[in-house]
Structure 1
Amino acid sequence: MPWQAHPGQGLVWRLKKLLLRAGIGKDIGLHSLRHSIATHLWQAGMPLSQVGRFLGHRSLESTQIYTHLQEEEAR
C-alpha cells in the first residue's frame, strides 16, 4: 500500500509557501484561517446559524465561540 499524506498536509504546505511569498513571517495555520473566515462572515451579517452550518458545527454553542471572542476584542 503506497504511503499517502494526510489530506490537509498539502494545504498546510501551500499556505506556508504563500505566507513566505507574501513576506508574512507569522505562522498561520488552517485553524486560524477557518476562524478568520467565520468571524468575517459573522461580522458581514451572516446569521450565526448559517456560519455554523458553513463550518459544519452540530451545535450553535460551538459557533458562538466566535461571537465571544469578538466581544473580548471590542473591550
Structure 2
Amino acid sequence: GREWRTPPLWGLGLTGTVSGHTQLLHDGRARNVLEAILWHGGEAQAAQRKVLAFDAEQREALLAFLNSL
C-alpha cells in the first residue's frame, strides 16, 4: 500500500467539464495540472525539477499539450 496508481492522462483537459471539478492527485489537493506536477515527489521528482526549470513559454506549452489530451 505505499504506491499510488497514476491514472491515464487521456481526457485530462476534460476533467473539469466531465466531473465538475479539477481536483487532482489521490487526495484532490492539486487544483490544476501544474499544481499536480509540483506536488509530485519520489520517482517523479526529476520530472518536477525539469518543469520548474522551464521558462514561462515552455511551461505554458506543456500545460496546453496536457490539457489537449
TM-score in same-fold range (> 0.5)? no
Higher relative contact order (CA 8 A, sep 6+): 2
**For the pair shown, which has the larger CA radius of gyration, 1 or 2?**
1
TM-score by length of 2: 0.27
